[in-house]
Amino acid sequence: MPLHGKDRSGKLSSKTQMHMKQTGLKYKFLISGIALVVIVVLTGLLLYNQLADQYPQQRQLLLVLLAMFFMASGITAVIVFAHIMIKPVVELTEKVDKIRQGQLDLDIHVASEGQFIDEMDLLYRGFAHMVASLKENFHQLSRAKDQAEKFSRELEKSKSRLEAIFNGISDGVMIIDRDYKVVAHNRKMKSILGFSGDRLIGEKCYQMCTGTEDKCGFCNARRVFETGQPIFTYCTKDDRESCEEKVFEVHNFPLRNKDGEVTQIVEYVKDVTDATRMRSNLEHARRLADIGTMAGKVAHEVRNPLNAIQGAAHYLKGELDNEEARNYINLIQEQVERVNGVTTQLLSLSKPMLPVLQPGNIMAAVERALQVTRPQLMALKANVVYKPPKTIPNLLINEGQLEQAIINIILNAVEAMDETDRPELRITYQIKEDVTTPHVEIIVEDNGVGLKENSYDDILKPFFTTKAKGTGLGLAIVKRIVDNHHGSFTLKSRPGEKGARAVIRLPIGGGAA
């Protein structure tokens, strides 16, 4: 609403100033007061003269009445003038109080153009202009507030979607600043790092990875900060719970500010253990196919001559009386048996294993394996600690093949403990039903020489062995049997400890047995 009587600069116009000079409040009250005094005085004197002429002897009383008339007229004039002056102020005060309470829709009477105005009219006009500006500003603020709330809701929705996507990524993602502190991360990253605390943000990334105050020697974040270029590497990490080696694909990307400086790093970590294991299994299957082809030829070309040698040795042993010759014949028979055993293992490894799985008790298979290997354990004077559970879930297994797998593991442990002062073999079970894939673990631990770190990836490959008389086929057969049971097999040495730890994991397929 425009404010009448003011120009664009806010000053009073010359016309308004002229009206104010002519009919301002002070002139109104001055003229009205003088006119009222003159009228009252003249009226009082006229009445006094008339009454004095009629009642000359009552002049003193008439003077008193005249004085009382003047006093009453003055008091009345003061009351009227005060009411006239105070009423607009009171009204304006009431309107100000309503505005303070938030009532902006007020009826404010403003003198129109062409009328004589005074200071109170200008005050009302200014007040009306202020209320109009306040209403306009209030409406603008309301629109801005509604717009801001709309943007806030949309931003919250976008944030929720991004958080859902961020946390729904099946791979680990975290953001690192120049102090190597974690700025943001998703849920998977906590699982990969093995962090058990409530809050990972603010922690040092190398403390989470290595558990020490020393920065990683292969730190990709430092290289990205220095070069500003993304880096892609592979790394491995031992899972403390399962004693498995995890393989991760790590991508590091720089985040730049408006000046182009690298201020943060995005680290994307993908667990490629299964893919790596699958490639290894494919390679393993290819090698088994080659072994199968070779095993057929070995069975045909080697076993027939071996049988002939064995028969000839048996015949000569009965014909010769020379003790030295008999010793050589025994040596020939032992070596023939050894070669025949290798041939049998080759055939066993190369033949298709399609076991008929049916509900069975794995404890019975383990106990039979212990009975079969009892002579070797007694010859070694090994202390066997066997801790079976009271009950175990029902599993779909082939007891014969599972027994053979346990036998191979125990015999491998016996060979590893050959030079140990106090050999000890421990067989325990773990039942894990509160995980994504419920399973039973058969754990066989020994205190032998353990495994070399560089043999972890090769220990389950056919023909790989660290023993002078080993064939490298026993553990390969174990892995194949466990794979056919849809389980997993690992053989590791714990860092800083003696011995090895073999774990067979078999999925749970029924109720408690």
Instruction: Look at residue 473 in the predicted model and tell me its pLDDT.
Output: 65
Instruction: Look at residue 464 in the predicted model and tell me its pLDDT.
Output: 54
Task: Read off the tokens for 11.
Answer: 């000053």
Greater model confidence, 460 or 248: 248
Alpha carbon of 502 to those of 87, 90, 127, 242, 446: distances in Å?
A: 101, 96, 91, 11, 9
Long-range contacts of 321-330 (CB under 8 A, 24+ apart): none
Beta-bridge partner residues of 503: 443, 490
Instruction: Look at residue 8 in the predicted model and tell me its pLDDT.
Output: 43
Among 69-83, 345-359, 484-498, the minimum mean pLDDT is found in 345-359
Beta-bridge partner residues of 153: none
Phi, psi of 246 (to 5 degrees): -95, 140
Which of 145-154, 226-235, 312-321 holds the top average pLDDT?
145-154
Decide if pLDDT at 145 tops 60: yes
Decide if pLDDT at 135 tops 70: yes
Percent of the chain with pLDDT over 70: 73
Instruction: Look at residue 6 in the predicted model and tell me its pLDDT.
Output: 47
Among 171-180, 332-341, 475-484, the minimum mean pLDDT is found in 332-341
Contacts of 343 (CB under 8 A, 6+ apart): 295, 298, 299, 302, 303, 306
Structure confidence at residue 295 as a pLDDT band (50, 70, 90): low
The secondary structure element, H or E, covering residue 505 is strand 500-507
Q: Is 475 exposed, middle or buried (0-12, 13-18, 19+ CB in 10 A)?
A: buried
Structure confidence at residue 225 as a pLDDT band (50, 70, 90): confident
Mean pLDDT computed over every residue of the chain: 76
Which of 98-102, 241-245, 346-350, 429-433 holds the top average pLDDT?
429-433
Task: Using alpha carbons, select from 12, 29, 3 the residue that is nearest to residue 86.
Answer: 29
Greater model confidence, 477 or 293: 477
Type of residue numbered 132: A
**pLDDT (mean) for 375-385:** 89
Which of 43-47, 285-289, 300-304 holds the top average pLDDT?
43-47
Structure confidence at residue 513 as a pLDDT band (50, 70, 90): very low
Instruction: Look at residue 110 in the predicted model and tell me its pLDDT.
Output: 61
**Whole-angstrom distance, CA of residue 395 vs CA of residue 439:** 9
Phi, psi of 248 (to 5 degrees): -125, 145
Task: Using alpha carbons, select from 471, 458, 459, 481 the residue that is nearest to residue 352.
Answer: 481
**pLDDT (mean) for 390-404:** 83
User: What number of H helices and E strands is found in the chain?
Assistant: 13, 12
Decide if pLDDT at 3 tops 60: no
Degrees, nearest 5: CA angle 244-250-251: 170
Q: Answer yes or no: are the C-beta atoms of 148 and 113 closer than 8 Å.
A: no
Task: Read off the tokens for 425.
Answer: 């073999």
Q: What pLDDT, in 10s, does the model give residues 253-267?
A: 888 888 888 888 888
Which of 206-210, 276-280, 425-429 holds the top average pLDDT?
425-429
Instruction: Look at residue 428 in the predicted model and tell me its pLDDT.
Output: 92
Instruction: Look at residue 48 in the predicted model and tell me its pLDDT.
Output: 77
Four-CA torsion 365, 371, 377, 382, nearest 10 degrees: 80
Instruction: Look at residue 443 in the predicted model and tell me its pLDDT.
Output: 92
Instruction: Look at residue 20 in the predicted model and tell me its pLDDT.
Output: 44
Beta-bridge partner residues of 446: 425, 500
Instruction: Look at residue 512 in the predicted model and tell me its pLDDT.
Output: 42
Beta-bridge partner residues of 181: 204
Q: Could you tell me where the beta strands, DSSP code E, fall in 212-356?
A: 231-239, 244-256, 262-271
**pLDDT (mean) for 388-411:** 85
Q: Is 456 exposed, middle or buried (0-12, 13-18, 19+ CB in 10 A)?
A: middle
Decide if pLDDT at 452 tops 70: no
Structural domains of the chain, ranges and CATH numbers in brackets: 14-136 (no CATH), 170-271 (3.30.450.20), 277-350 (1.10.287), 358-507 (3.30.565.10)
Instruction: Look at residue 181 in the predicted model and tell me its pLDDT.
Output: 85
**Whole-angstrom distance, CA of residue 384 vs CA of residue 406:** 14
Task: Using alpha carbons, select from 316, 308, 318 the residue that is nearest to residue 340.
Answer: 308
Task: Read off the tokens for 145.
Answer: 């507030």
Structure confidence at residue 444 as a pLDDT band (50, 70, 90): very high
Decide if pLDDT at 420 tops 50: yes
Q: What pLDDT, in 10s, does the model give residues 74-88?
A: 788 778 777 777 777
First to last CA, the chain: 90
Give the CA count within 13 Å in the CB-facing half-sphere of 29.
13
Decide if pLDDT at 323 tops 70: yes
In a 3-state reduction of DSSP, which class is residue 383? strand
Residue 362 has a CB neighbour count (10 Å cut-off) of 24
**Whole-angstrom distance, CA of residue 475 vs CA of residue 418:** 18
Among 1-10, 449-458, 470-479, the minimum mean pLDDT is found in 1-10
Task: Read off the tokens for 488.
Answer: 């997993």
Task: Using alpha carbons, select from 319, 354, 177 the residue that is nearest to residue 262.
Answer: 177
What length is written for the chain? 513
Alpha carbon of 107 to those of 15, 122, 124, 199, 479: distances in Å?
A: 26, 16, 11, 60, 93
Beta-bridge partner residues of 237: 246
Among 66-80, 276-290, 363-377, the minimum mean pLDDT is found in 276-290
Decide if pLDDT at 113 tops 60: no
Task: Using alpha carbons, select from 477, 474, 405, 480 the residue that is nearest to residue 444.
Answer: 405
DSSP letters, 192-220, are HHT--SS--TTSBHHHHHHSSSSPPTT-H
Instruction: Look at residue 74 in the predicted model and tell me its pLDDT.
Output: 79
Structure confidence at residue 397 as a pLDDT band (50, 70, 90): confident
Structure confidence at residue 427 as a pLDDT band (50, 70, 90): very high
Q: Answer yes or no: are the C-beta atoms of 66 and 48 closer than 8 Å.
A: yes
Task: Using alpha carbons, select from 184, 257, 269 the residue that is nearest to residue 225.
Answer: 257
